[in-house]
Structure 1
Amino acid sequence: MILACPHCHGLNRVPNERLADKPVCGRCKSTLFAGAPLELTEANFDAHALKSELPLVVDFWASWCGPCQSFAPVFAAAAAEFEPQFRFGKLDTEAQRALAARFAIRSIPTVMIIQGGKVIAQQAGALPKQAFAQWLKQFA
């Protein structure tokens, strides 16, 4: 499986059976799974959404959004629980307007699962922890 490093965004080849063995990046030597969402920007988005083979769960959010703020701990907990099945990333729609427009984000929070550059699932609105975990398990 090809994985983008959450630190340097370099691409790494890791056998599927070794994903749970705490693999490290061949370039920067950092762990490939931090158990926390990474910040997605124009600079690193394509490495994780297009080039990496691991499904990317994206939380489209904004700092002024109350439901986004209440969903943030749920999303962070899911990252700790579901990595390495998924990569988790947060995209600030105010700071990354072009990316938000690229995915036609109309309401926030919106969560998408992207694999191979294609959206395979989308959920608008904040979910409680159990409901979010159940939604993710459909695509694991």
Structure 2
Amino acid sequence: MSEALQVVCPRCDAVNRVPATRIADHPVCGACKGALFTGKPVALDEARFRRQLRASSLPLLVDFWASWCGPCRAMAPQFEAAAGILEPGMRLVKVSTEDAPALAQEMAIQSIPTLALFRGGAEVARQAGAMGAAQIVAWARQVAG
């Protein structure tokens, strides 16, 4: 039997166990029956971010951004394109520093956009500044190991 991964549903936040060998087989949530992977970043508030961070076996690539930030808006479609390439090997999420200021302060986000990669609940890498989809994918794969 293959190792089971814990995958948090991007819609209802239920924790699902998915065999590692079946992760690319378009798994669905046992609770809401929605797709566990949509190829798009998931917008998270602070509570949902903490749930993903705590419960997911997958690396978590976070785009810390704000609606007033021009480079953040310019990078948004690039980050979305990267999600289509990197899923299901990692979960890509967006956290608004406007909507989660305490989290941004706790994470010491000093400039936006900032990408941070978490694995096993801990931050393993960070990169500030807007990037294109190919750069995001290359950086994420490099730092994820």
User: TM-score normalised to the size of structure 1?
Assistant: 0.96
Residue 116 of structure 1 and its aligned partner are, at CA, apart by 1.9
Matched ranges for 1:1-140 at <5 A: 1-138=5-142, 139=144
Q: Number of residues paired by the alignment?
A: 140
Give distance in 2, aligned partners of 1:31 and 1:128. 26
Measured against aligned partners, the alpha-carbon deviations of 1:79-116 in whole angstroms (never above 9, x if no partner) come to 01110011010000011111111201000000001122
Give distance in 2, aligned partners of 1:23 and 1:128. 28
Residue 43 of structure 1 and its aligned partner are, at CA, apart by 2.5
| Contact in 2 for aligned 1:36/1:76 (Cα 8 Å) | yes
| Contact in 1 for aligned 2:11/2:34 (Cα 8 Å) | yes
| Contact in 2 for aligned 1:50/1:115 (Cα 8 Å) | no
The gaps in structure 1 that reach 5 residues or longer are none
CA RMSD, aligned part only? 1.0
The gaps in structure 2 that reach 5 residues or longer are none
| Contact in 2 for aligned 1:61/1:91 (Cα 8 Å) | yes
| Contact in 2 for aligned 1:111/1:123 (Cα 8 Å) | yes
What percentage of aligned pairs have identical amino acids?
A: 49
User: TM-score normalised to the size of structure 2?
Assistant: 0.93
Give distance in 1, aligned partners of 2:25 and 2:131. 30
